[in-house]
Chain A
Amino acid sequence: MQLVVRYRGKDVILEFDREKIKASDILKVLNLSKDFAFVVKNGEIVPENEEITQTDEIRVINAISGGKF
């Protein structure tokens, strides 16, 4: 299954080797920890076990950031 997600201001195409996927699979394929990243499905923050389909609008938020004042 192919899924387009919005990640850090860009559309990213993700490939999965199966048809049924969960939010945790998206974080895994982007190599992100649930401690600093999360998935927003159709405008709502969802838990890692949430099922995701191709029709969902997905945004992935990676909260980690580098330098500050």
Chain B
Amino acid sequence: MRRCFRCKEKAQVYLPQHRLAMCKDHYIEWFENRVERTIKEFKMFSKSDKILVAVSGGKDSLSLWQSLVKLGYNADGFYINLGIGEYSEKSFTLATEFSKKLAKTLHTISLKDEIMSIPDIKKYDNRPACSACGTVKRYYMNKFAKDNGYKIIATGHNLDDESAVLFSNTLNWNIDYLKRQYPVLPEEDGFIRKVKPLCKISEKESAMYAVLSGIEYIEEECPFSEGATSIDYKIFLSQLEEKSPGTKLRFYSEFLRKMYPLLKHLDEKPTLNRCRICGEPTTGDICSVCNLKQKLKSKIEVET
């Protein structure tokens, strides 16, 4: 039986990549300290900043929100109801209940009111659902934060998310994406600063924090994410991790330390314009959400 390295009580958690065994209370403390260290390492924000956490009702966003509040940060939540049947109903209830427990504001919008639900968009848009979903979520998150005086958007991207994306971008030598793969995307003309405080915390570590803290989160997967390539990459990296603990953390951290400084100098920043329909920042003439709206409108007109 493993014992907690701090108090010698029976350990519930063992982290092979850190060679640490911990009891429940010391694991919760370790997790929150790791979040705090990551915030400081990448100069993400300070205690005086007004932060908006992107809340999906999943383990990562709820664990992130709870740890930020416990660490004394000023963090509210933002939930977008995507209208994906039971999945959205359940995640909405869990996110709402959680905000009451935290005694923090959860702002919500409904995609159905703004454009149409994800299943309806999927009917008219040939791209994978995750692609349109990501576009609209980023747009409304940024717009809402800006309109309501939030300086920072914090998302629950974890080490597995980041290393899977890094792996994909490296396989494809996608320099344009690699040079932007950093846990802080600075604010620029019309865009709010975006940060990923869980970038050095694995998916399993995040789930263990949620379970041990008694956080009720949605365990079901979004029905549209089935077969996503990112899951294949995650499973592949997990196989490497099992054989050699620490692989994912090393892959991602060493990229940030050795490669990112070289790549960021290649950054030729695209000129940002204002979308001529909604006024939000875009590199083109019309932003991706207005573009999507126009496409959906014309497809509906053809149908009727």
Contacts and interface: CB of A to CB of B under 8 A. Distances in A.
Contact of B211 (A61, A65, A66): A61
A61 B225 contact: no
A66 B225 contact: yes
A34 to B, nearest CB: 7
A45 interface: yes
Contact of A68 (B157, B220, B239): B157
A66 B138 CA distance: 16
Interface in B1-30: 2, 12-14
Interface in A44-69: 44-47, 61-69
Contact of A66 (B13, B54, B137, B221): B221
Nearest to A34: B242
* Size bracket, chain B contacts: 35 or more
A3 interface: no
A33 B240 CA distance: 11
* Size bracket, chain A contacts: 20 to 34
B239 A65 contact: no
A12 interface: no
User: What is the interface of chain A mostly: helix, strand, loop, or mixed?
Assistant: loop
Contacts of B60: 65, 68
Given A67-B228, A67-B230, A69-B137, A36 B2 contact: no
Interface of A: 8-9, 33-38, 40, 44-47, 61-69
Interface of B: 2, 12-14, 54, 56, 58-60, 90, 130, 133-134, 137-138, 141, 155-157, 160-161, 202-204, 206-208, 211-212, 218-222, 224-226, 228, 230-231, 234-235, 238-239, 241-242
Q: Nearest 9 pairs between A and B by C-beta? A: A66-B225, A63-B207, A67-B130, A35-B238, A63-B203, A66-B228, A45-B12, A63-B204, A8-B219
